[in-house]
Amino acid sequence: MTIVDVIKKALLPLATMVFWLWMVKTIMGVTGNTDLFMFLFLAGLPFGIHKMCIILIPRGYDVGGTVGMIALSVIVGGLLGSLMIPYYIVRAVYVTIWYIVKR
């Protein structure tokens, strides 16, 4: 494992995640109150939506069914992404420790 692998698998995802969480916190702070469910949903949206858009592809529906399936994909993807955030953090720590130990 090289330093390039550590940067790609640990540092870059963590930096992107910190920036995204800071941006969501700033957006949620505009209203003055923070809804935890909406914060988790918005924080997890970029980490889970690509998985759900692959699984739930609307075909053969009318316009209402297509919009409903897309909305379901976004909601479930955001919630799934909020569960993926701790996985990405643990993976980044594991990769960093593995690089330090094997060095």
41-67, pLDDT tens digit by residue?
Answer: 888 888 887 777 666 666 777 888 878
> Is 10's pLDDT higher than 80?
yes
| Nearest in space to 78 (alpha carbons), one of 54, 47, 100, 103 | 47
pLDDT for the residue 48: 83
66-103, pLDDT tens digit by residue?
Answer: 788 888 888 888 888 898 899 999 999 999 999 999 88
pLDDT for the residue 57: 67
- Domain coordinates in residue numbering, the chain: 3-102
| Region of residue 35 (phi > 0: left; psi between -120 and 50: alpha; otherwise: beta) | beta
